[in-house]
Amino acid sequence: MKKKSGKNKTTNQRSFYFEDYLETNKKSKNFKKYNNFEDRNYLLFFFFFSLITIFSIKIAFISLSQKEILGFNNQNSKFNLLRRDIVDRNGIIISRNINAYHAAVNPKLVKDKKNFLIKLRLIFPNLPIDEIRQKLNGKKYFRIKTRITQNEKQKLWSLGEKAIKFEPFQARMYTHGDLFSHVIGQVDYDNFGISGLEKYFDKELKSKNLKDTPLELTLDSNIQYIINKELSEAVKTFDASGAAALLMNVNNGDILSLVSLPNFNINQRKTITDKNYINKITKGVYELGSIFKTFTVALALERNIVKKDTVIENIPRKLKCSIHEITDMKEHPSNLSTEEILVRSSNVGSVILAQKIGEDVFKKFIKNTNLTKVPDIELEEVGAPHEIKWNKCKIETVSFGHGITTTPLQATTLYASLTNGGNLVTPSLIKERNKIETKKIISNETSKEISSILRQVVSSENGTASLADIDGYYVGGKTGTAESYGNNKQRINSFISVFPTKKPNYSLFVMLENPKLNKDLIYNYRGIKTKAPYNTSGWNSVYVAGKIIEKIGPILAINNKDFLNQYVVEKFN
């Protein structure tokens, strides 16, 4: 029993140990399988995590890049300017290069040509669809529209046609459209300047060393807008064929505004052949009439031939000169002082002063003031005044502005020089240019006297420019009514003003071409409501100049401390 029992015990024990060994062995195999499963999970997790990371980086790169899909924009992210910006005196952008596109089509990629043409016609009804249809049947790559706008580009892109391609190029954009058309000029499709400042400074504007520095002008966009608006309204009011205005700083020649009408939108890049579209300020050559009387009086005072209050007695109503008869438009007293000759705008009185001055002195003065020379300005569109032939009666007619031509730019520059202390200035469109040496053409004393007389032309009862007497600005100036040189049917009405005359800072030229008498316009003439009796500059150009000064005066006063001080004194004392 004991043996059996022992055997059984042994057997049971062995069985126990055997079973235990098998169980343990079984667990070890499962553990290995479990570890292999976990390794695969980790490997798969790492693989998917890597893919997600790669795609995330790619998406972020595409999002940050300036490149867009479907050929919507295939330019490099870096925009390399081909031309510098042009800005006004306050840093306002006038001209800038931007990304632009031509729209082209690859016929091989058009699947449904009929549907494609329908879409094009809906978006651009003015496109030559028949011509495009013929080209689609070919295999050559062709353009459907050049110089498309961003809006047009978006419409084409939204069609989802792979056949449409956008060809990038740099286009010159002019932010103000037609406002500076006669000054800024244009560039061609290859970004070369072809007119205006764009042409004159073409090399400097394309300079790689200066591309981050804009070309700064003396022009003021706000003042340019105001003058352009007033001048445009004047053309309608007086049914004029054209007009022009120029605002200049009399002390340094800086041009704050230059307007010539009609103008044109330089963004459209149209070829204009009509001569009426010339820059009338720099290119136009005119007889400006009585504006020249100021030069005659200034020269007589400077040469001490007369004083301001010297009375010229027994001035005839008419004066015979060779075969010509010189008269005044209206009757004046027979005795006039030097000042009154200019204030009343007497032709005969001016002739008498010129005869006292003498031809040689007069010729030298005109030469020294560059009045009949080609204008010195940063534009190629300049006019050449006609050569003066000093024959019989020439000095007499020149004394009141007939038989002599000049550009409005030169006339305005000379007015600036006569009233700034007598220093001949050089006009400029470029801010902070290199200083140019000036020469003295009249003394400080004569300059003050001229400014004083010009003030009387505007403020006195007998003056011809009362409509420009804007309260607070001490406006002075001289009117001019003349016929266009070489064409007796054309009329040029002009007015050159300086203000404030106590210490001149600005000179404003206003000109109307072929204005008509507005019989319905009611003027406030020295507090009296009236209509214009004549179609002269005193009733149109002066009227326009007054409206302009009234609107730009506050801007100029704020920008000029001395002017502001004078304005405050006039207004509140």
**191 and 236: one domain?**
no
**Residue 299 and residue 365: Cα distance in Å, rounded?**
8
Please give the tally of structural domains in the chain: 2
> pLDDT: is 361 or 561 the higher one?
361
Range of the domain at 306: 224-266+277-572
**228 and 194: one domain?**
no
Residue carrying the six token digits 């050089």: 426
Region 52-76 average pLDDT: 60
pLDDT band at 355 (very low <50, low <70, confident <90, very high): very high
**305 and 181: one domain?**
no
Q: Which amino acid is present at 306?
A: V
pLDDT at 484: 61
**Residue 491 and residue 514: Cα distance in Å, rounded?**
5
Residue carrying the six token digits 């169980």: 23
Q: How many CB atoms lie within 10 A of CB 91?
A: 10
Tell me what percent of the chain is helix, strand and coil, each rounded to the nearest 5: 40, 20, 40
Residue carrying the six token digits 């290119």: 283
11 — phi, psi (to 5°)?
-60, -45
Last residue of a domain, one of 216, 234, 252: 216
The length of the chain is: 573
Q: Is there a domain that residue 438 lies in? A: yes
Is residue 397 classed as helix, strand or coil in its secondary structure? helix
Region 470-493 average pLDDT: 84
At 481, which helix (H) or strand (E)? strand 476-483
Task: List b or e across 461-471, with b for residues whose CB sees 16 or more CB atoms inside 10 angstroms.
Answer: eebbbbbbbbe
Q: Is there a domain that residue 28 lies in? A: no
Q: Is there a domain that residue 432 lies in? A: yes
Hey, which residues does 524 pair with through a beta bridge? 529
Region 316-327 average pLDDT: 87
**212 and 229: one domain?**
no
**Residue 455 and residue 566: Cα distance in Å, rounded?**
15
At 115, which helix (H) or strand (E)? helix 113-123
- Which of 103-107, 111-115, 313-317, 555-559 is least confident? 555-559
- Is-above-0.85 flag for pTM? no
CATH (domain of 258): 3.40.710.10
pLDDT at 426: 94
Nearest by Cα to 441 from 466, 470, 475, 416? 416
**Residue 134 and residue 113: Cα distance in Å, rounded?**
11
pLDDT at 561: 59
Query: What tens digit of pLDDT does each residue of 523-547 get?
Result: 998 889 999 998 999 999 999 999 9
pLDDT band at 30 (very low <50, low <70, confident <90, very high): low
pLDDT at 274: 83
**367 and 409: one domain?**
yes
Region 21-49 average pLDDT: 61
- Which of 151-155, 441-445, 481-485 is least confident? 481-485
Cβ-contact 401, 288 below 8 angstroms: yes
Q: How many CB atoms lie within 10 A of CB 378?
A: 17
**411 and 544: one domain?**
yes
Query: What tens digit of pLDDT does each residue of 257-267 get?
Result: 999 999 999 98
Q: Report percent pLDDT > 90 for the chain.
A: 62
**Residue 213 and residue 275: Cα distance in Å, rounded?**
35
**384 and 501: one domain?**
yes
Report whether pLDDT(572) > 60: no
Helix runs in 290-346, H state only = 293-302, 338-343
pLDDT band at 490 (very low <50, low <70, confident <90, very high): confident
- Which of 167-181, 357-371, 512-526, 558-572 is least confident? 558-572
- Which of 82-86, 92-96, 176-180, 486-490 is least confident? 486-490
pLDDT at 94: 97
**161 and 262: one domain?**
no
**206 and 253: one domain?**
no
**137 and 228: one domain?**
no
Lay out the sheet containing 491-499: strands in order across.
255-261, 242-249, 506-513, 491-499, 476-483
Residue carrying the six token digits 């070369």: 192
At 172, which helix (H) or strand (E)? strand 164-174
pLDDT at 482: 85
- Which of 392-406, 422-436, 457-471, 533-547 is least confident? 422-436
Nearest by Cα to 183 from 377, 374, 436? 377
pLDDT band at 111 (very low <50, low <70, confident <90, very high): confident
Whether the upstream peptide bond of residue 125 has omega within 30° of 0, thus cis, is no
Query: What tens digit of pLDDT does each residue of 267-309 get?
Result: 887 777 788 899 999 999 999 999 999 999 999 999 999 999 9
pLDDT band at 385 (very low <50, low <70, confident <90, very high): very high
pLDDT at 527: 84
pLDDT at 224: 98
Report whether pLDDT(3) > 60: no
Hey, which residues does 324 pair with through a beta bridge? 321
Q: What is the mean pLDDT of the chain?
A: 87
Helix/strand/coil (H/E/C) assignment for every residue in 203-257:
HHHCCHHHCCCCEEECCCHHHHHHHHHHHHHHHHHCCCCEEEEEEEECCCCEEEE
**Residue 441 and residue 438: Cα distance in Å, rounded?**
9
> pLDDT: is 484 or 149 the higher one?
149
Residue carrying the six token digits 């200083």: 435
Is residue 386 classed as helix, strand or coil in its secondary structure? coil
End-to-end CA distance of the chain: 146
Q: Is there a domain that residue 34 lies in? A: no
Structure tokens at 502: 């106590």
How would DSSP label each residue in 38-85? HHHHHHHHHHHHHHHHHHHHHHHHHHHSS-BGGGTB-S-SS---SS--
Last residue of a domain, one of 216, 238, 255: 216
Helix runs in 420-461, H state only = 444-459
Q: Is there a domain that residue 25 lies in? A: no
Query: What tens digit of pLDDT does each residue of 113-170 get?
Result: 889 899 888 888 888 988 999 998 888 899 998 888 888 889 888 888 888 999 988 8
Q: Is there a domain that residue 304 lies in? A: yes
pLDDT at 563: 58
Q: Is there a domain that residue 179 lies in? A: yes
**241 and 335: one domain?**
yes
Q: Is there a domain that residue 536 lies in? A: yes
CATH (domain of 151): 3.90.1310.10
Region 242-258 average pLDDT: 97
Residue carrying the six token digits 């954009």: 173
Nearest by Cα to 551 from 508, 493, 522? 508
**330 and 206: one domain?**
no
